[in-house]
């Protein structure tokens, strides 16, 4: 069966994905930003499109970028129609996420209240399944990945609901799952929870693993057969963010230990904030991998093929699910 990634513009055959960043945010706002009326203009759709297209066209032309996974959860300003427009204009394939953010920073009130009233697990399962099989909010734009998230040192009962639903739907549909670990904690537990509920380890990427710099911890996660994301390149020097030099050293050690086929890269950068920007990063954050990391990996002895495995081949294998052929829609070869 041909394998396709479910992008916001429809299924794209995996060979066409090219260099892929597996965790970025075209648009992001913490729940509550809607109430901050001091931001003017609050949401300038045209300006956001123009700024994002300009950036992505430049990345495509300069660095050969082909695809990004937009990791913005449903409750943090996810906007599939905006992503579709930006994808069309920029020529970059974009996969949109389905899922809710971790308890400390997400919009928890809705499903916590639903849980008091009835069967929230069933409702979350239905919501997430609809988003990958039919489309999001009445559009025919499908989510291409699940995004689930847990807290520091704990996966709360609230968060577990989304992990279970993602795993069960992924088992049925092949939809890949990306995760948020808080400060690099709970990676093995996340992988176990997803696998116990039916997810294929090949369809799981434990994210923000670079919040932890202990190679034994990385290997403990990798033993589960999953992918890991060194997906915060360029975020340096605050809690849960080591230097990029340490990230590079970890990757080289893991590749030399035989795990090159299990690692993917990204920045976790935010192209546009909803609400007031919380910019703690350098302006070049969203292109650090191409400007600094790839040369650093090369200097540390990785071959171009080994680097391509991280940026092209691993995302290809991870993101393609065959769902496009199962569920119809135009196939963009």
What are the helix and strand counts (H, E) for the chain? 13, 11
Least distance to Zn ion, CB of residue 24, Å: 8
- In the complex with Zn ion, the residue whose CB is nearer, 269 or 309, is 269
Q: What distance in Å separates the CA atoms of residue 20 and residue 70, rounded to the nearest whole number?
A: 11
- The answer, yes or no, to whether the previous bond of 41 is cis (omega within 30 of 0) is yes
Least distance to Zn ion, CB of residue 324, Å: 25
Footprint of Zn ion on 262-291 (CB under 5 A): 268
Total chain residues near Zn ion (CB under 5 A): 2
Contact flags string 90-119 toward Zn ion, x per CB under 5 A: ------------------------------
Stretch that binds Zn ion, among 12-20, 45-53, 69-77, 271-279 (CB under 5 A): 69-77
- In the complex with Zn ion, the residue whose CB is nearer, 210 or 268, is 268
Q: What distance in Å separates the CA atoms of residue 69 and residue 75, rounded to the nearest whole number?
A: 17
- In the complex with Zn ion, the residue whose CB is nearer, 85 or 268, is 268
- In the complex with Zn ion, the residue whose CB is nearer, 131 or 268, is 268
- Binding status of residue 71 toward Zn ion by CB under 5 A: yes
Q: What distance in Å separates the CA atoms of residue 5 and residue 132, rounded to the nearest whole number?
A: 11
Per-residue tokens: 70: 């937009």
Whether the CB-CB separation of 182 and 172 falls below 8 Å is answered with: no
- In the complex with Zn ion, the residue whose CB is nearer, 71 or 302, is 71
Least distance to Zn ion, CB of residue 23, Å: 6
- In the complex with Zn ion, the residue whose CB is nearer, 211 or 324, is 211
Q: What distance in Å separates the CA atoms of residue 52 and residue 284, rounded to the nearest whole number?
A: 14
Least distance to Zn ion, CB of residue 264, Å: 14
Footprint of Zn ion on 296-325 (CB under 5 A): none
Least distance to Zn ion, CB of residue 270, Å: 8
Stretch that binds Zn ion, among 63-71, 215-223, 277-285, 304-312 (CB under 5 A): 63-71
Whether the CB-CB separation of 8 and 96 falls below 8 Å is answered with: yes
Whether the CB-CB separation of 209 and 228 falls below 8 Å is answered with: yes
Least distance to Zn ion, CB of residue 269, Å: 9
Least distance to Zn ion, CB of residue 268, Å: 4
- In the complex with Zn ion, the residue whose CB is nearer, 90 or 182, is 182
Encode burial over 295-325: b for 16+ CB neighbours within 10 A, e otherwise: ebbeeeebeeebbebbbbbbbbbbbbbbbbe
- In the complex with Zn ion, the residue whose CB is nearer, 74 or 309, is 74
Least distance to Zn ion, CB of residue 72, Å: 7
Name the percent of the chain in helix, strand, coil, to the closest 5. 50, 15, 35
Q: What distance in Å separates the CA atoms of residue 102 and residue 182, rounded to the nearest whole number?
A: 9
Q: What distance in Å separates the CA atoms of residue 10 and residue 140, rounded to the nearest whole number?
A: 9
Residue nearest Zn ion (C-beta atom): 268
- State the residues that interact with Zn ion by CB under 5 A: 71, 268
């Amino acid at each position: 069966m041909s394998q396709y990634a479910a992008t916001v513009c429809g299924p794209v055959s995996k060979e066409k994905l090219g260099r892929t960043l597996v965790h970025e945010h075209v648009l992001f706002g913490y729940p509550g930003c809607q109430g901050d009326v001091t931001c003017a203009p609050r949401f300038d759709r045209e300006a956001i499109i123009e700024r994002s297209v300009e950036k992505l066209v430049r990345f495509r032309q300069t660095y050969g970028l082909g695809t990004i996974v937009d990791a913005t959860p449903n409750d943090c300003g996810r906007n599939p129609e905006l992503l579709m427009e930006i994808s069309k204009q920029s020529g970059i394939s974009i996969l949109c996420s389905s899922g809710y953010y971790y308890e400390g920073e997400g919009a928890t009130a809705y499903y916590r209240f639903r849980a008091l009233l009835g069967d929230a697990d069933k409702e979350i399962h239905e919501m997430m399944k609809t988003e990958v099989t039919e489309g999001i909010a009445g559009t025919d734009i499908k989510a291409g990945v699940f995004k689930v998230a847990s807290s520091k040192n704990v996966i709360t009962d609230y968060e577990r609901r989304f992990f279970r639903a993602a795993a069960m739907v992924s088992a049925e549909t092949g939809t890949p799952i990306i995760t948020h670990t808080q400060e690099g904690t709970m990676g093995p537990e996340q992988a176990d929870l997803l696998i116990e509920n039916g997810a294929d380890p090949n369809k799981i990427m434990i994210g923000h693993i670079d919040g932890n710099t202990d190679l034994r911890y990385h290997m403990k996660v990798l033993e589960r057969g999953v992918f890991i994301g060194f997906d915060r390149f360029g975020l340096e020097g605050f809690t849960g963010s080591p230097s990029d030099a340490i990230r590079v050293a970890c990757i080289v050690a893991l590749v030399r230990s035989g795990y090159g086929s299990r690692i993917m890269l990204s920045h976790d950068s935010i192209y546009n904030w909803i609400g007031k920007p919380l910019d703690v990063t350098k302006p070049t954050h969203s292109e650090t991998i191409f400007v600094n990391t790839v040369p650093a990996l090369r200097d540390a002895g990785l071959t171009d093929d080994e680097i391509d495995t991280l940026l092209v081949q691993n995302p290809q294998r991870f993101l393609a699910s065959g769902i496009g052929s199962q569920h119809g829609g135009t196939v963009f070869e």
